[in-house]
Structure 1
Amino acid sequence: MSNGLLRQYLAKNADLVAFTQAELDAIASQLNDRPRRVLGGRTPTQVFATAST
């Protein structure tokens, strides 16, 4: 599932050196703020925040 989502932002053979850290952080943020059915409609960020309290 995560690989499929990553492919929306990065090509299969993408060289990560071509991306800035800010660009990679933006991609991670978009992925972590996306609701997931497996998480009951919550985002990974919400689940992580709940688990770490």
Structure 2
Amino acid sequence: MYSLEDRKKAIELYLKYGRHASIVMRELGYPDYKSLIAWVKEYEETGTLRKNGL
């Protein structure tokens, strides 16, 4: 499970710097780019992230 801050950092890199999901996840040492895509989708749809995410 990733902390809220970990997920925010990944989303920020993805959105702000136009990084490819797999590159962001590899740079941060996270195993699955699909998680990032889900976090970004949640953030874009709701404007926030759940405290207890993937």
The normalised TM-score by structure 2 is 0.31
Larger Rg computed on CA atoms: 1
The normalised TM-score by structure 1 is 0.31
